[in-house]
Amino acid sequence: MCPVDPLSSLLSGIRAEGSVVTHAVLTAPWTIRFADEAPLTMISVLRGGGTLLLPDGTERAVGVGDTAIVRGPAPFHLADRPTTVHSSHAAYEIACFTTDTECTAQELGGIHWGADSEEATALIVGAYRASGRRHERLLRALPPVLVIKEDVEVCAWLETAAADAAHLSAGSQALMDRLLDWALVCTLRTWFDRAGADAPSWYRGLTDPVLAPALQAFHDRPAEAWTVASLAARAGVSRALFAKRFTKLMGRPPLTYLTECRMDEAEALLTDTDLSIARIARSVGYADAFGFSAAFKRHKGLSPSTFRAAAA
């Protein structure tokens, strides 16, 4: 069954593992190559700064208090300035998803704190692993890179929390990873809030006073036989008003959205679990496997069993 809100559901398939906390003294010119091929990489700049360089030519400056989320899987760079990559410079690499069990910050000296140099660049880097396909809908809603400016006090708190985690021996990596998970949720939620009309429809709908009660009811109980009339009743408005408002804000009619959501959930269940097709059909609101299979093939181009086999 779907969780209460779509963002929680989409984030359930992506987690920080082997995060790096590094307070590196970098003397210009320098570059850091991020070679994880991770679905998402988050970089919080606590001190110093630089320019993010993406494979498509995008350049994005980041400074103190900025948190950037870069959508993978292509490698990218952070440099003191854009022109550095074309000249002689000190080159470093961060790779968390290597064959080693630990995330490594090559030549950056690992986890350390307390550098006093004016040239110090302090970063918290989190690379996120994905399990299954549930996160793919989230990735489609994000730009190649997004940057959120945090309050200086929040930045100071994050540095203190990371330093405390780094100095603890027992459970320090798990603590740091959970801190990065928390930071990812906060950063994405802030970006979606600020994106306005550019935010994905499933997020905008949950902030609308009319649509939110209906959407929450659906995501709470996706297997229920929802109709436009029953959703409108949840919203407390007429059927016609609900359908018009829903289509305008969400970009498609209510039942089209419900079917898309059910098919996305079914796709995740087919790849992430060994539930039978009949069980999956019931969990996403279909009375039998035949009707579900026909709907799934119509929307995804493959039957559920063929899709599952291909994914495996």
Task: From 77, 129, 68, select the one nearest 101 (Cα to Cα).
Answer: 129
Q: Which residue has the tokens 């009707």?
A: 291
- Mean per-residue pLDDT, 156-183: 69
Per-residue pLDDT band for 229 (boundaries 50, 70, 90) equals very high
Locate 220 and state its tokens: 């709470």
pLDDT at site 295? 94
Question: pLDDT exceeding 90 applies to what percent of the chain?
Answer: 37
Q: What is the CA radius of gyration of the chain?
A: 22
What single letter denotes the amino acid at residue 121?
Answer: T
Query: Comparing 297 with 108, which gets the higher pLDDT?
Result: 297
Residues pairing with 126 in the sheet: 42
For residues 128 and 20, give the distance between their C-alpha atoms in angstroms, rounded to a whole number.
11
Q: Which phi and psi (to 5°) does residue 274 adopt?
A: -110, 25
pLDDT at site 2? 41
Task: Give me the chain's average pLDDT, please.
Answer: 81
Residue 278 neighbours by CB under 8 Å, 6+ apart: 288, 289
- Mean per-residue pLDDT, 262-285: 92
For residues 167 and 104, give the distance between their C-alpha atoms in angstroms, rounded to a whole number.
17
pLDDT tens column, 43-71: 888 888 899 999 999 999 999 889 999 99
For residues 108 and 114, give the distance between their C-alpha atoms in angstroms, rounded to a whole number.
14
Question: pLDDT exceeding 70 applies to what percent of the chain?
Answer: 79
pLDDT at site 235? 94
Q: Which phi and psi (to 5°) does residue 24 adopt?
A: -100, 140
Cα 170 to its chain centre, rounded Å, is 28
pLDDT at site 263? 93
For residues 14 and 128, give the distance between their C-alpha atoms in angstroms, rounded to a whole number.
6
- Asked whether the predicted pLDDT for residue 17 surpasses 80, the reply is no
pLDDT tens column, 69-105: 999 889 999 999 999 988 888 888 877 665 454 444 4
Q: Which residue has the tokens 């190559």?
A: 33
- Mean per-residue pLDDT, 147-173: 65
CB atoms under 10 Å from CB of 181, counted, come to: 19
pLDDT at site 166? 57
Lowest mean pLDDT among 21-35, 137-151, 266-280: 21-35
Query: Comparing 244 with 178, which gets the higher pLDDT?
Result: 244
DSSP string, 56-78: TS-EEEE-TTEEEEEE-SS-EEE
pLDDT at site 312? 75
Q: Are 11 and 184 in contact (CB under 8 A)?
A: yes
**Start-to-end CA span in the chain (Å):** 22
- Asked whether the predicted pLDDT for residue 275 surpasses 90, the reply is yes
Lowest mean pLDDT among 21-25, 112-116, 221-225, 301-305: 112-116
What single letter denotes the amino acid at residue 112?
Answer: H
Per-residue pLDDT band for 190 (boundaries 50, 70, 90) equals confident
pLDDT tens column, 106-135: 444 443 444 455 567 778 888 888 776 777
Residues in the chain: 312
User: What's the predicted TM-score (pTM) here?
Assistant: 0.77
Percent composition of the chain: helix, strand, coil (DSSP 3-state, to 5):
45, 20, 35
